[in-house]
Chain A
């Protein structure tokens, strides 16, 4: 029986706590008597018969006819699937997207459907490499569809491949992939890692264009999403749902397939990363010592390769299919069942160890903008109710924050770092002054369409992701971060955790309460 999440009050006997530091980790002693650590629930039980569960979901969907009933010869069928940003880390083969797509294709073949396109719903993310596509959909699907041009990636900058559907009552443009819009049935294959994934966000974001995305990927929406993980209080969610209604009203039939995973995140020998420190075995301690010592001596590039080669053992805990909103309600319940931890009250200082990975640097570099996004965009927002840190409080991250950028994946990030952040760190100001130039830059468009580059506007979105955190926090400190880079982000560098706490005392006094978000594995704090 997996144990639920847990909030540890730190006392004198509490061992040092594990903090991620990019491609390494450290153990930090938190002050006794006023610190607490939030641990994620242990991985819940996985579905034993995954293929059986998938088939049952397709044959007995929620609020829709069984999938075979919706399939007929001569129809246009499009299968869209979540891109390389999910799950994290990538899962061991076979990926559940492969298992679902194969099951759908079996039914389509039985029904005599031969016009099938499979599309990676990457929005403004980078294109997936062949290896990444093969990992997600499997060799059999890839070999059958890709050579014939029937497995490809959404192109948000191809005007001929987009269909404008209209506007929401709020004036938001809705434009999605033309093939998806013109299909008799659009099947979306989702992996729901956190509560904000899935639902109408799958199609309204994953298959859309800058023209649509700018209506919810902006500072105003982000500031008023409290949090992204709480659908009822998320403007991002509401905007996507409004767009979903436009999609639905335009006659597009969507068959949504959503899955959830447990939080079994790290394979051997890194299992200790998910454990509670006082339960570490002698072997765990030895592994920690050996790995941190080795990683300190390992060139950063090599360390990145080691970590990005990790394939997580996480397994499917649910699969549901059918009508988008009904499916997503169930999915969200499953996500919460795995990730929610009840936490009493806010804290003066929220600490977080930033790991090597985010949705936007798979097989890549967690550059400084993504460090900000992980800290203030993702971890800060891992709450329901109210933020873990009080308004005006301090966030302390641990990460080396080198000024390293992947030149192929993140070309516009380099310019964003050099040009935009040296001008302003205010999301509103940069959105007014700089966003259009980056969004419309022909070179970035070219790289997005033809190489493996994120869209030119993407670094802005990453920065906006942290808008609420930026506004909410009195100070952000990065322990171990490259000082010049950290200052460019508008944050304060500190050498050690003690230094950071000293610096924080200017803002929150000398005896602040401290809460450490012990993640990954992922958790959502239900702050009451």
Chain B
């Protein structure tokens, strides 16, 4: 099989980090990523494992952070090298199903007991299993040396990770299911703040900072699952603002105007750099020092900030957080959600429905062959500036002829 592989070579990570200041293309060439041809990963000696042939595999912000050498050292002990990235995947199984991958390598995949009946791969509040069982460490497919990943022509996955998709769903729509699930998870993480607002008979206001793929999916999730909230979005580029509006945002402004837009919406005062009140909840879909600081300024006291964008090391004055008793919660991934009506659903099932109802295939802007990975990564790194949203690898030309037609 052919694959893009990340190896553990500190010098290459350093080179990528330095080169990324010049360009992503240079970072990709000098960094830890190599296009290789090698044997496909071996199926574990356990039930429920399948060999998969990817059709489309998306490029995510966390992938880019890795390629550019910016990923946090936090993950050093949670991943295993070498690995093949790619966790946003629509693929064919060897038994003829077209599936999207729920990439978390959970208890079932590792041959461990589930934390509760029908638990999703992402469920559970003890992450010990992520480094245990019969697989090498890895939080997800795409970060585990045992499974391979979507940026290849062949990888393996456990039955617990697979969601068969309806025939009417295009590959482009399916490849967005994973980020859509992440967006829904972040949107539902706003529910406690939204619920509290409604208890006080206030119009709930949720601000979203950043409108890349994750921000847009969060907006769609808010509109789909928390109807009636006012969604105010800070998006840098015109096409992002247009998509945000079409997915349900009530107002879109540039990021530096977001605080003022929130103030207008809630009618509060401004005290220094902070709003006296602010949004009931904020989704930070950027995830850096500046974005977190900004969110602290326009999220109301005792409001909630949901960190959807993956931060690394940040420097933020938390005095405001302390004084305003702001809750910051992470929104890494998905599992089993409790909806506002109390019912429980798997995030991926919600995402498959939402990808269709909201037409999320429009988020896929361009696809590249695996061999053109430098250009693909450069496009993904500059997607906003280049009028794009989601960039993906197209591996359908590597499929047997009969399978190509299914999309």
Contacts and interface: CB of A to CB of B under 8 A. Distances in A.
Interface of A: 414-415, 418-419, 437, 441-443, 446
Contacts of A414: 260
A contact face: mostly helix, strand, loop, or mixed:
helix
B269 A418 contact: no
A418 B253 contact: yes
Contacts of A442: 267-269
Contacts of B386: none
Q: Which 3 pairs, one residue from A and one from B, show the smallest C-beta to C-beta distance? A: A443-B269, A418-B257, A415-B264
Contacts of B251: 419
A414 B257 CA distance: 10
Contacts of B300: none
A441 B260 CA distance: 13
Contact of B261 (A418, A437, A443): A418
Contacts of B270: 443
11 contacts: A415-B260, A415-B263, A415-B264, A418-B260, A419-B251, A419-B253, A437-B267, A441-B264, A442-B267, A443-B268, A446-B269
Nearest to A416: B264
A446 B268 CA distance: 10
Contacts of B268: 442-443
A105 to B, nearest CB: 39
A414 B253 CA distance: 13
Contacts of A418: 253, 257, 260-261
A443 B270 CA distance: 7
Contacts of B260: 414-415, 418
Interface in B228-274: 251, 253, 257, 260-261, 263-264, 267-270
Contacts of A415: 260, 263-264
A418 B269 CA distance: 18
A446 B263 CA distance: 14
A418 B260 CA distance: 9
A443 B253 contact: no
Nearest to B260: A415
A414 B256 CA distance: 12
Contacts of B261: 418-419
Nearest to A443: B269
Nearest to B264: A415
Interface of B: 251, 253, 257, 260-261, 263-264, 267-270
Given A419-B251, A442-B269, 17 more contacts: A415-B263, A415-B264, A418-B253, A418-B260, A418-B261, A419-B261, A437-B264, A437-B267, A441-B267, A442-B267, A442-B268, A443-B263, A443-B267, A443-B268, A443-B269, A443-B270, A446-B269
A25 to B, nearest CB: 33
B264 A419 contact: yes
Contacts of A441: 264, 267
Nearest to A418: B257
Contacts of B257: 418
Nearest to B254: A418
A223 to B, nearest CB: 27
A443 B274 CA distance: 13
A436 to B, nearest CB: 12
A306 B269 CA distance: 33
Contacts of B263: 415, 443
Contacts of B264: 415, 419, 437, 441
A473 B65 CA distance: 54
B103 to A, nearest CB: 39
A126 B400 CA distance: 74
B348 to A, nearest CB: 37
Contacts of A443: 263, 267-270
A367 to B, nearest CB: 15
A414 B263 CA distance: 12
A443 B260 CA distance: 12
Contacts of A419: 251, 253, 261, 264
A414 B261 CA distance: 10
- Identify which of A419, A437, A442, A446 gathers the most chain B CB atoms within 10 Å of its CB: A419
Contacts of A437: 264, 267
Nearest to B251: A419
A362 to B, nearest CB: 24
Contacts of A446: 269
A163 B264 CA distance: 30
Nearest to A419: B264
A441 B270 CA distance: 12
B308 to A, nearest CB: 25
Contacts of B267: 437, 441-443
Nearest to B257: A418
A418 B262 CA distance: 12
A442 B251 CA distance: 21
A435 to B, nearest CB: 13
A18 B253 CA distance: 39
A455 to B, nearest CB: 15
A105 B268 CA distance: 43
A414 B270 CA distance: 14
A495 B179 CA distance: 45
A514 to B, nearest CB: 36
B163 to A, nearest CB: 40
A82 to B, nearest CB: 31
A101 to B, nearest CB: 36
A419 B259 CA distance: 12
B252 to A, nearest CB: 9
B255 to A, nearest CB: 12
- Identify which of B251, B260, B264 gathers the most chain A CB atoms within 10 Å of its CB: B264
Nearest to B269: A443
- Identify which of A419, A437, A441, A443 gathers the most chain B CB atoms within 10 Å of its CB: A443
A414 B259 CA distance: 12
A108 to B, nearest CB: 41
A415 B264 CA distance: 8
Contacts of B269: 442-443, 446
A441 B269 CA distance: 9
A485 to B, nearest CB: 14
Nearest to A440: B267
Nearest to A442: B267
B269 to A, nearest CB: 4
- Identify which of A418, A441, A442 gathers the most chain B CB atoms within 10 Å of its CB: A418
A415 B260 CA distance: 7
B384 to A, nearest CB: 18
Nearest to B252: A422
Nearest to A423: B251
B262 to A, nearest CB: 11
A414 B268 CA distance: 16
A418 B265 CA distance: 13
B148 to A, nearest CB: 48
A415 B270 CA distance: 13
B251 to A, nearest CB: 8
A77 B251 CA distance: 51
Nearest to B275: A443
A441 B275 CA distance: 14
A334 to B, nearest CB: 45
A437 B264 CA distance: 9
A437 B251 CA distance: 15
A483 B91 CA distance: 48
B260 to A, nearest CB: 6
A291 B268 CA distance: 45
B178 to A, nearest CB: 34
